[in-house]
Amino acid sequence: MCDSAAKPRDELSLLSLLATHSPSAPLTAPERERIDLAAYALEKTTKPTEYPRDLPALDGFWTLLYTTALFNMPRGATAVRQYYDTSARRVENSFTVTLPIPPRTAEVVIGGKFDVAAADMLMLTLIDIQLKVQSPVGDRIRDLTPRIPLPNENNAVVGALKAFRKLLGRPPVREISKDVRTTYMGERLRITRSSGGELRVFCRQE
């Protein structure tokens, strides 16, 4: 959790606006504007990120608190997280969805790689997708599918992935690349903006 304890005042201003918000829930235009202004104020307080020097600060799990790109979010998705392993140049985006068939809930993991594109920018490429479910015995998470490669061309695999996408929400059906700028990096809070204008706010998961 990204609680309010021992946070800089500018971080508290943004966190207070996101305290009761779910990343997959729509907001009104005035609410989005207040969040954007609070994020912008926080971005102005930090020194620019310098990759690859600052890559280790990304390592671990980050919980998504807010995104402006709801069209990329499956409806009702919960536990939306991002994981970085910078030594392996691996990034994973995951979320929990409700299935129309048993076991009813599952975790979708969309994995990829990243490269340093600029001092404050990473190029992310999504390359595989995996479905995980809760084991009926105990709390162990088990893989329902192996990592399924996302094709970079339209081929027969796309048809199967489209069915997968229809079942799970809106995971990608082919490789996707996009550049992401890190505009704020604190000990617990991270803000990114993509070239398409998407704003995301993450909190480091302990």
Number of domains making up the chain: 1
| pTM for this model (two decimals) | 0.84
Can you give the residue range of the structural domain that contains 86? 9-204
DSSP annotation of 20: T
User: Which residue pairs, CB below 8 angstroms and at least 24 apart, start in 142-146?
Assistant: 144/106
In a domain, 113, yes or no: yes
Confirm if 125 and 112 have CB atoms less than 8 A apart: yes
CATH number at residue 124: 2.40.128.280
Question: Which range, of 18-32, 36-50, 105-119, 136-150, averages the lowest pLDDT?
Answer: 136-150
In a domain, 2, yes or no: no
In a domain, 25, yes or no: yes
Residue-wise pLDDT for 15-44, tens only, equals 989 987 888 778 889 999 999 999 999 999
pLDDT of 4 strictly over 70 = no
Burial (CB < 10 A; 0-12, 13-18, 19+), residue 204, is middle
In a domain, 176, yes or no: yes
In a domain, 146, yes or no: yes
